[in-house]
Amino acid sequence: MRLEFRHVSKVFGSKAAVDNVSLSIEGAGFIGVIGRSGAGKSTLLRMINRLGDASSGQILFDDADILALSGRDKRDWQARCAMVFQQFNLVPRMDVASNVLHGLLGRRSTLSTLFNLWSEADIRRALGILDRLGIAEQAAKRAEALSGGQQQRVAIARALMQDPAIILADEPIASLDPMNAQVVMDALKRIQVEDGRMVIANLHTLDTARRYCDRVIGMRDGRVVFDGRPDQLTTGVARDIYGADASFSEAATSTEIGALGDDQEYAAAMLGD
């Protein structure tokens, strides 16, 4: 399992949201991507999942260029590369189990999707994943009735329903309180270790990156300015990533870094922010 970026750029007008990024990620591991809002983190993840296309370069997974995929091949790739968003992206009025089962939509016929038909095996699997994440008792409740931390675990369960090789998590804890943030990060780390999956997460604090990640990639102005182990995140490195005007405590604890959400990098790039 190898994910490789070769001179990848994404340009909006005259602004490069991602600027000539080359890096390689091999095997199962927990990879954290850090940096200020607008650094290019979300744009990077969206290109991996093909929610956005690159302006130039290649992104290879096991030597296949995923940027060249189209049609069914592209949908198959998106099933292998699950996405977890900051704002959960659940169907609020739908029950939790059905939200999890929607992880299979890309693999089902239009007719079965239209009538919400699920096999017994699929239902049992969804309930098993919810049990693994400690929220099986919430299966019959509407998603909107759950806490933020519980909803994010439902979103993770939906991603697991896809049985992906890679899980991408775009600021998964930015909108959560510290207790729920820890529960969600513990769940993602446990999944990565127990299942042998590759997890790539955009994170907004250095403390979180140090605690959970095997490798940290720091981005600034669309470029990779750090790529190394969590224990190499010194004060000087933090200032390289977040800017000379940012204090170490700001880089370590500020929720401003990631709280604007996954669409804000696009807006920032187009506005030249």
Q: What are phi and psi of 13, to 5 degrees?
A: 65, -120
pLDDT band with cut points at 50, 70 and 90 for residue 26: very high
Q: What is the pLDDT of residues 180-230, one digit of tens each?
A: 999 999 999 999 999 999 999 999 888 999 999 999 999 999 999 999 999
pLDDT band with cut points at 50, 70 and 90 for residue 248: very low
Chain-centre distance of CA 157, in angstroms? 14
The C-alpha atoms of residue 184 and residue 154 are separated, in whole angstroms, by 10
Nearest alpha-carbon partner for 172 in 144, 196, 205: 205
**Hey, what domains does the chain have and what are their CATH numbers?**
2-271 (3.40.50.300)
The C-alpha atoms of residue 246 and residue 238 are separated, in whole angstroms, by 9
Q: What is the pLDDT of residues 32-74, one digit of tens each?
A: 999 998 999 999 999 999 999 999 999 999 989 999 999 999 9
Radius of gyration of the chain (CA): 18
Cβ atoms of 43 and 10 closer than 8 Å: yes
Tally Cβ neighbours within 10 Å of residue 271: 11
**Contacts of residue 110, Cβ cutoff 8 Å, sequence gap at least 6:** none
Q: What is the pLDDT of residues 101-125, one digit of tens each?
A: 999 986 665 555 555 678 899 999 9
